[in-house]
Amino acid sequence: MSTTEGKADAAAVEEMARSATAWCAMHGLVVGDRADPRSGTVPGVGLVHAPISLLPSRLPESFWSQACELAPLFNELVDRVSLDGDFLQDSLSKTRQVDDFTSRLLDIHRKMMDANKEENIRLGLHRSDYMLDSETNSLLQIELNTISVSFPGLCSIVTELHRTLINQYGNLLCLDAKRVPGNDASRQFAKALAKAWDEFNVDSAVVMMIVQPEERNMYDQYWLVKYLRESHGITTIRKTLSEVEAEGQVLLDGTLVVNGRKVAVVYFRAGYTPNDYPSEAEWSARLLMEQSSAVKCPSISYHLVGTKKIQQELAKPNVLERFLENKEEIAKLRQCFAGLWSLDDKEVVKSAIENPDLFVLKPQREGGGNNIYGLDVREALIRLKKEGGDALSAYILMQRIFPKASLASLVRGGFCHEALTVSELGIYGAYLRNKDKVIINDKCGYLMRTKVSSSDEGGVAAGFAVLDSLYLTDKVIGPVTCLILLGKSGKK
C-alpha cells in the first residue's frame, strides 16, 4: 500500500475501511438499520455496522488524565446533590412552570420527599462529556448525564477495532496501538449493576432494563446483559414503561414484582425524554418503580441532578461549597465548567442576542438534537422575551466551546468519506453506596464521539456523530486519520 505526496492512496483507504466494517460485523459493533422497519424491535434483524471513525482521534495525555480524575468527583457530587431535595425543588421551580416534562418528574420527586422515602442503596452510572476548547486550550464540560448514558457496550469494542487496524496496517500508519487507552466500560457497568444486585441480596431477583418500544441501539444494551449473565450469573429482563405498568406491582414490603419476577435493580435506558411517556400509563410505571425498594439507576433525584438547570445552578459562585468540603476538589470541578447562565440574567441575554455565535441555548432535554445555535439563538431569545412570564426558565445559556477541527475519515453505512471534524470525550463513572458505605466510586471507560465540524449536534444514536476512540499524545496534533489520509508520517 503506497501513498502519493499530499494525497491518500484511495485503494489503501478503501481496503482499510472494508476491513473495519467486516470486523464490526464479526465482533458485534452493530446497530439496527433504519431502512428495516423491524430492526428496532426484533433482535438479529436488519443489522448494520455502527457509524465509526476509521482511526482514533488524538488527545494530549494531560487532558485525558484530567477528565479521568474528575469522574469520581462528579460521582460524589451527584450523590450529595441528590440528597438535598429542597435544592432540587427550588432550583427547578420556575422551569416546572413552563416545562411539563420536568414538572412531572418533580411531582414524583415531591411524593417521595413527602413520604420520607429513603434510597439506602444508591447506584449511579454517569457520563461527563467534554470538549477541548481551542480558544483557551482547556477541557470544558458540555454536560453531565445521569440517566440512560449510552454506548458503554459498543464504545468498548471501538477501542479493540482501532488497535486491530493499527496493528494490521502498521507499515502504513507508523502508530503504536498501546497509545490507544483500554476501554472496559461495558464490563465495568455490568460489574456495578451486579454489585448493586448483591447489596439488594435477594438471590431470585433480576435486573430489569427499561427500554424504548423501538430501540435500534439494543446491541449496545445486550452487551451488558451478556456480562451480567456470564460473569455474574444474573438474569436481566427487558421491559418498556407500559409493560411495567401492565405487569408490575409493589408488595406490602416494598418489593417490586414484574410479571412474577422480583426486581433487585431497575436500570433505565429509557425514560429521559417526553416521547417515552405518551400516556399516563408510563408515568404510573415510573411512580410505581420509585415507590418500590428496588435499586433505581437512576433514582428520580439522581435523574433531576442531571438536568441542564441544575448544571447551571452548580456553576454559580459558592454553590459547590454547599455540597463538598474539599477545596482542592472544588477547584478541579470549577476549572472544567464552561460559562453557564440563567436567562434571568438580562446582561447575558443581551450579549447573546448581539453575539449569538458565542452561545448555545439549551432546553431541559436529553438525547441529542435539542440545542439551539447561531442566529437561531437570537431569534429564540427575542421570541422568549416577547412571550414574557416564565418562558425563559425552560432554557439555559451556555458558553459555546470551539474545538479545533481536523481532517478524519468517517465510515457510515459501508461508505468512507473524509471530512473536517471535531470530537467530544465522555468519561463514564460508576457510583454505588449503601447507607454510609461507598462501595464503588470510580471512572469506568470512555466514549469518544466525532462529527463533521459543520454539525452543531453530537449524538451518535440521533445520527449526528460516529463512534471513535483515543490516541494519546504529548501535544495536540489532530486526528490520526488526517495523518494517514494526507500521506504524512504519524509520529508516536
pLDDT digits 0-9 by tens, 316-346 = 999 999 999 999 999 999 999 999 998 888 8
Task: Count CB-CB contacts under 10 A for residue 50.
Answer: 26
- Domain spanning 339-400: which CATH class is it, in words? alpha beta
CB burial class (10 A; 0-12, 13-18, 19+) of residue 259?
A: middle
Contact 471, 175 (CB under 8 A): yes
373 is in an annotated binding site: yes
Q: What percent of the chain has pLDDT over 90?
A: 79
The cell for 119 is 434510597
- Please tell me the total number of residues recorded for the chain in this structure: 492
451 is in an annotated binding site: yes
3-state secondary structure of 220: helix
362 is in an annotated binding site: yes
d(CA 249, CA 377): 45
- pLDDT(41) > 70: yes
d(CA 368, CA 361): 13
DSSP letter assigned to residue 320: G
Contact 30, 49 (CB under 8 A): yes
The pTM (predicted TM-score) of the whole model is: 0.91
427 is in an annotated binding site: no
Contact 131, 424 (CB under 8 A): yes
110-126, pLDDT tens digit by residue?
999 999 999 999 999 99
- pLDDT(4) > 80: no
363-386, pLDDT tens digit by residue?
876 655 678 988 999 998 988 888
Who contacts 454 (Cβ-Cβ below 8 Å, separation ≥6)?
Answer: 420
* Angle at alpha carbon of residue 449, lines to 448 and 455, rounded to 5°: 155
Contact 451, 422 (CB under 8 A): yes
Residue boundaries of the structural domains of the chain: 10-338+401-485, 339-400
457 is in an annotated binding site: yes
Residue 54: phi, psi to the nearest 5? -65, -35
Instruction: Grade residue 441 by pLDDT with cuts at 50, 70 and 90.
Output: very high
Mean pLDDT of the chain: 91
Least confident of 206-210, 254-258, 463-467: 463-467
d(CA 359, CA 373): 7
- Which positions are annotated as active-site residues? 127, 143, 145, 150, 308, 362, 366-367, 449
69 is in an annotated binding site: no
215 is in an annotated binding site: yes
Q: What is residue 459's predicted lDDT score, i.e. its pLDDT?
A: 62
Residue 106: phi, psi to the nearest 5? -65, -35
